[in-house]
Amino acid sequence: MAYAIQAVYFVAAVLFIYGLKQMSSPRTARRGIVWAGVGMFMAVVVTFFHPGLHGVGNYVLMFVAIAIGGGLALVTGKRVAMTDMPQMIALYNGMGGGAAAAIAALELIRHAPMTLTVQIIAVLGALIGTVAFSGSLIAFAKLQGLQRKAVRYPRQQVVNMAVFAVSVALGVVVAFSGAGYSDAVLVFFFFLALAAGVMMTLPIGGADMPVVISLFNALTGLAVGFEGFVLGNPAMMIAGIVVGAAGTLLTQLMARAMNRSLAKVLFSDFGGAAAQETGGSAEGHLKPIEANDAGAMLAYADKVIIVPGYGMAVAQAQHKIWELAELLAERGVTVKFAIHPVAGRMPGHMNVLLAEAGVPYDMILDLDEINNEFVSADVALVIGANDVTNPAARTNPDSPIYGMPILNVDKAKNVIVIKRGQGTGFSGVENPLFYADNTRMLYGDGQRVAGELIQAVKSM
């Protein structure tokens, strides 16, 4: 039986890896999710036959946990709007980290005999999982609008590092004490680890959320892998390692896409007061345009590049934007979509929304593929994107986003920006693009404005 269980775990791990590989492309992502789900189902089922389980009570608790967790996931998965996917991902990341921390807590509270290596790994998993859990909850609160303001106080980073250092010190005590540590030390260790996750995430601005979400995803995977080692469960180990590695690579890609080191994301003030103070002011005047005039520009263009951002997600305008793109294509206009790696509030956010609307994959191009084409575009239509189109990243060394690769929207012959108002956006950084001579501002809710553009094009 033991060999059969290990064989099933091995097959499940292979399916995890295969599923993750399929998720690397939008064309095969759905298939990858299905295969990874099959692997997870196999791993869960075979766990019921694990020789370490004793007593009916354990099976009852497992069924109850699966029913509660699976039921909540099923309900939320069906009800959560696509616009709320970033906060759902943050929440699910947190649950994974919390589960790993709970496993470690149970093993450590039992004071069961462990080798020094296993005990050290258990404590590491507990620390990382707890930080990922509390940090992800704060990220969820920020994305959901429950925590609207970044929390800052004097010598914040010093205090945060002190709290984290003490939690690490207590972890060292637990790790090297065998079974001789007190429960009070263990409780204090978990309390400080929770506080460290909260305090680390509170000052991080909204513009850095894509990096933060992928970072916590990596931490959760690492914690799960560690606790899989503690339990001797190869499926947990492999799944955790794969998720941790993928999350780490994604975090690096997101940070590179913003030209920001991970240290700057975690320990600077981008997206908050500092961004507003150093962002500078743009010269010129905002030049509004009516939907009918904008529709005429689009209808008689040869090439249009559409740049979606979080504003499109908030307005749930992706279906209307695709309807507009189809209408333009019928008139012989070449239409393409330009996606920046950190557009939205999570990695791939815009890709998910456009896929939901039915936009063909070959029309969706990333920054490197599309940037050279803006100079030949008659119109660049920006809907709800700010920082990823901000030319200050190229021209203003004082800007907090200086050096960040951006979409070259300002090089198009004409730019139309759909925006709800005249504010600076989620990150608080002023965008000189809005004041450029070739830019016109089309104010209003994204979905409503897209509908007006559709009617304007139809009337041409």
387 has catalytic annotation: yes
C-alpha angle with apex 33: 28 to 37, nearest 5 degrees? 150
Q: Which two tokens stand for residue 323?
A: 């309807």
Which residue's entry shows tokens 């920046």?
340
- The CA–CA distances, whole Å, from 166 to 118, 170, 185, 188 equal 22, 6, 11, 10
Catalytic residue among 84, 183, 378, 387: 387
Q: Evaluate whether 240 touches 93 at the Cβ level (below 8 Å).
A: no
Q: Which two tokens stand for residue 384?
A: 């709800």
Task: Give 337's DSSP letter.
Answer: E
Q: Strands of 12-67 (E only): list them.
A: none
Q: What gap in Å lies between CA 164 and CA 157, rounded to an integer?
A: 10
Q: Evaluate whether 269 touches 205 at the Cβ level (below 8 Å).
A: yes
Q: Which of 67, 65, 85, 64 is nearest to 76 (CA)?
A: 85
Q: Which of 362, 302, 358 is nearest to 337 (CA)?
A: 362
Sequence-ordered list of residues with C-beta below 8 angstroms from that of 275, at least 6 positions apart, any chain: 205, 207, 269, 400, 427, 428, 429
Strands 364-366 and 439-443: unpaired
- The CA–CA distances, whole Å, from 153 to 1, 17, 270, 271, 344 equal 57, 43, 15, 16, 28
Alpha helix positions (H), 202-233: 209-231
Q: Which of 445, 407, 410, 179 is nearest to 282 (CA)?
A: 410
Q: Is 338 helix (H, G, I), strand (E, B) or coil?
A: strand
Active site residues: 387
